[in-house]
Amino acid sequence: MYLSKTSTPVDGVHSVSAPQAAFSIVEIECYRTYTNYFRDASLLVERAVDQSSLLNTNVPIWFATKHWNFLLSNLEDAYENLVKVFYANVTIEGKEIRCWVKGKRFSVTPVYLADILQIKRPILPIPPVYDELNPDQEVLREALGPNLEFSSNGKSISVAALSPKLRLLTMIMFSNLYLLSSTGYMNLGRALFLHDLIIDVEINVCSYIFHIFAKTIDWTASRNCIPFCRLISRILKLKGVHPLENERLYPRPSLINIRTLHASMSHTKKSTKHESHATPGSSSSTAHVYDEQFDNIIATLQEITTRISGLASIMHSQHIRFDTKFTSLQTQLDQIQR
């Protein structure tokens, strides 16, 4: 079971620019949760999949029986502050997320997620938690290829060593199903998730999304990423929680489409060429090291973009805060002059 730091859902964060003195004791704790763990966290925003451009790839085959089209394509725009307020105002009790956001009290369960995402839930009484699994390397090679590259400690695999088509599937997985900020390596549990996608093992994706929600809500000082922002925005919209008129819209990421696959294939060709020009005494993994460095650069650029976006959001919030204070002081001055 996951428990958040606040034992009672509260609505004390939606006016985050207000001083702490304006809150009750419980609300102050919620405010601290927001400021200490969520206000400056990076958002992992889902990327919609343009499935019509991928008809000649393996993507339609991999997702043919999943009923995940709505999850992969029909996504709401994300409002950064509203999403962070959601995470700071919820508690977990068993298989239920209890929420209190902007005066709206509601709950989220795996069954509710399946309903709004139009997903046919498989009959899995106890769905596996992939993070806790440690599959055999040979099992992973059956679906991910015989040239699968493992880390020195054997606990993760290199994404760069996968074929372009599998890297495309990995990108879909990292962007919409198993959200991660770094795409250079994945642990064996995540690799098994990818393996199960390929061989069409039944995956209770709604229970899995709920599991990730719970992990994020049960925050730690090291947690600095917020997943499923567009899904949360959809939940809030359906529950009647709407952004303020001046609330900042988070930039929509680019689509995953056929150009994404072509870029991956082009990157593979460059890596192969780099490896063919290596000297006889060089390491056979030079190309993979290059790929990992490239992935790290891309991840860093994405992180910088996110940080800049977050800074702009903070500046916007501060502007509203000072404007409100100025209006209040002006009103008080007018009353005094009367």
- Beta carbons of 149 and 161 less than 8 angstroms apart: yes
Helix (H) or strand (E) holding 51: none
Q: Please spell the DSSP secondary structure of 227-290, one letter per residue.
A: --HHHHHHHHHHTT----TTPPBPPPPPPB-HHHHHHHHHHHHHHHHHHHTS-TTS-TTHHHHH
Output the tens digit of pLDDT for each of the chain's 338 residues: 333 444 444 444 444 443 343 344 456 677 777 887 788 888 889 999 998 999 989 999 999 888 898 899 878 899 988 998 898 888 888 889 999 888 889 999 999 999 999 987 666 667 778 888 889 999 999 999 998 999 988 889 999 889 989 999 999 998 898 877 666 888 899 999 999 999 998 888 898 899 888 888 876 555 678 899 999 999 999 999 998 888 888 888 889 989 888 887 765 544 444 444 443 333 333 433 444 454 445 555 655 765 676 676 667 666 666 666 777 777 777 777 76
Report the alpha-carbon distance of residue 232 to residue 53 in Å, rounded. 27
Phi and psi at 219, nearest 5°, equal -70, 160
Report the alpha-carbon distance of residue 101 to residue 13 in Å, rounded. 8
pTM: 0.70
